[in-house]
Amino acid sequence: MIEKALARAQDLVSGERQSMYGPPGENWEQTANIWSGILNRGILPEEAMLCMMGVKLARLSQNYSDDSLVDLLGYLILYLKEIRREP
């Protein structure tokens, strides 16, 4: 099951979602900028990713869904790429 969810997450972040939202790095930078304005303090893209993972963990703790797991894995993939500075 985890392999299937991980494969789906990888497909989404490198294909379907990227074509919808643009390059992940640019999208996370924009998200961080928006949250920085809302919170009136600087937010890094990596922090925005961690927060979104927290949202998915909270949802999973209340009610398991394959969709939330795939989203969580997708955020984790993007986070690891960001902190490792991978393309």
pLDDT tens per residue, range 38-64: 999 999 999 999 999 999 999 999 999
pLDDT band at 87 (very low <50, low <70, confident <90, very high): low
64: left (phi over 0), alpha (psi -120 to 50) or beta: beta
Instruction: Show the tokens assigned to 22.
Output: 């643009």
CA-wise closest residue to 81 among 4, 2, 32, 14: 14
Please state the domain extents for the chain: 2-83
pLDDT band at 35 (very low <50, low <70, confident <90, very high): very high
Chain centroid, CA 23 distance in Å: 12
